[in-house]
Amino acid sequence: MADFEPKIVAFCCDQSGYPAVDMAGTLKLDFPRNVEIVRVPCAGRIETIYLLKALEKGADGVMIFGCFEENCQFLRGNLRAKGRLSYAHRMLEKIGLEKERLEICHLATNSGVKLVEALNRKSEQLRKLGPNPCSENM
């Protein structure tokens, strides 16, 4: 288990999360190795099924990087994403999966440090939780 590197799918809103990824790169911060960055126009574009599909198809955890509340370019996109996330949380609870595997993180365009911290923390947390048991490749 020592070499277990959790796979994280990170949905990044084009208004905040994605520029933050660029910022993290510019600051040359250490990313966890196994992160897939997905660029979406707004956190509101992320469907519940994406979160669950990600867990089904091999991801150990999913992060949503969106704008701060009440700061959404499209007014309520991040709140919709939060709502869908809590819906997904309830589903995970029912099937007995840790809900820590899904998380939303609010940040601004210049929060490269915060983004990497969140990813590292998530990576550490998932390492403790172990590999995703419902992944099909188990």
Partner 1 sequence: MARIGIFIDALQGSISTSFRERIASYVEGLPQVVFCRVEENLTSSEGLSRMGKRLEEGGVDRVLIIGGSPRLYETSFQKWGHPLPFNPYLLAVANIREQVLWTTADEEKAFEKAKGIITKALRTASASQPIETQSLPLKPEVLVLGGGITGISIAQALAKSGVHVFLLEKGSQLGGRVLELQTFYNRPEKVRQWVEEKVSEVSRTSNITLLTQAELKYLEGHLGRFQAKIRSRDGREDALQVSALVVATGYETQRERKGIYSHKRVITLSEMEKLLSQAKAPSFQYEGKGVGMVTYLLDGVNEDIKVDSINAIKQSLQLQESFQCQVAILCKDVKVSTDGMERLYRRAREKGVLFFKYEEAPKLSIVNGQIQVDVKDTAPIQKKDQWPVSILSDLLITSEDFIPAPETENLSRILKIHLGSRGFLMEDNPQLLRVRSNRRGIFVTGGCRFPQEVSESLTEARAVAEEVMALLSKGDYTYDLAVAEVDPKKCAVCYTCPRLCPHSAITVEQYAEKNIYTIPGRENKWGAAKVDPAACYGCGICVAECPAKAITLRHVTDEQIYAQMNLME
Is 59 a residue that touches partner 1 (CB under 8 A)?
A: yes
Count other Cβ atoms within 10 Å, centred on residue 87: 13
Is 75 a residue that touches partner 1 (CB under 8 A)?
A: yes
Place of tokens 């590197």: 5
Is 21 a residue that touches partner 1 (CB under 8 A)?
A: yes
CA distance linking residue 28 with residue 92, whole number of Å: 35
Vertex 37: Cα angle to 101 and 117 (nearest 5):
60
Is 39 a residue that touches partner 1 (CB under 8 A)?
A: yes
- Please, are residues 67 and 106 in contact by the beta-carbon 8 Å criterion? yes
Question: CA of 48: how far to CAs of 90, 91, 120, in Å?
Answer: 11, 10, 24
CA distance linking residue 114 with residue 98, whole number of Å: 23
Is 89 a residue that touches partner 1 (CB under 8 A)?
A: no
Is 38 a residue that touches partner 1 (CB under 8 A)?
A: yes
Candidate list 6, 17, 18, 111; residue touching partner 1; CB under 8 A: 18
Smallest gap from Cβ 78 to partner 1, in A, equals 10
Place of tokens 């510019």: 26
Is 114 a residue that touches partner 1 (CB under 8 A)?
A: no
Smallest gap from Cβ 81 to partner 1, in A, equals 8
Binding site for partner 1 (CB under 8 A): 9, 18-19, 21-22, 24-26, 28-31, 33, 36-42, 44-48, 50, 53-54, 57-59, 73-77, 80, 84, 136-137
